[in-house]
Structure 1
C-alpha cells in the first residue's frame, strides 16, 4: 500500500505519521533532541572556525607548547578529540531517543 507519507506499513503494522507528529510525546522527543544537539553544534562550530581565525589573524597559537610542537597542533588535535567525545555522547544519548521513538510507534499502531 503506497500512500506517500500519510500512512506506511511497517511489517504488519500501519503507522499514521501525521497522527504521530501531532502527539505531545513526539513533540517532547523532538524538543529533547534539539536541546541536546543544538548546544553541541554551536560549541563545535565555534571551536572549529576559531582555528583559522586564530592562526590567520593572530599569533597566539604560534608559540611553542611542548618542544617544537606549537599550540596550533595541540588545538587541532583537540578538535579531533572533541569530535570523538561528541560522537560518543550522541551515541549514548541516541539510545534514549530510540527508546522514546519506539514507545511512540507502539502507542500509534493501527
Structure 2
C-alpha cells in the first residue's frame, strides 16, 4: 500500500527478492510470534470462562451477591482493552520495521 500512496507502480516490486531477505524473515517471525502468542492468550482466557463458570471456585460470592464468574467476566473486558492497547502500540513498531525492510530492499536496487 505504501507504493500506491507514493504513486509508484506496484507491479515493479520483486516480492521473491523481498521474501529472500533475512531482515524480512526476521520481521515476519517476530510479528507472527507476537500475534500468535497474544491471540493464544486471549482465546485461552476467553474459552476458560464457560469451562470455569460452573466450577465451585467461581461460584463463590466475592462481594455481596457478586460471584467470581462476574469478576472473571469483567476481567475479560479489561483484558480485551489491554490487549488492544498493547497491539496498537506494537503495531507502530511493526510499521517502522516494515518500512526499514522496504528501505533496505530499495537500497539494494529494488524499485
- Shared fold (TM-score, shorter chain, > 0.5): yes
Answering whether residue 77 of structure 2 is matched by residue 80 of structure 1, we say yes
Q: Distance in 1 between matches of 2:24 and 2:44?
A: 30
1:55–1:61 contact (8 Å) kept in structure 2: yes
- Unaligned stretches of 5+ residues in structure 1: 1-8
The counterpart of 2:47, out of the listed 49, 74, 77, is: 49
Q: 1:46, CA displacement in angstroms?
A: 1.4
- Unaligned stretches of 5+ residues in structure 2: none
**TM norm structure 2:** 0.81
Per residue, is there more strand in 1 or in 2? Answer: 1
Q: Distance in 2 between matches of 1:16 and 1:100?
A: 19
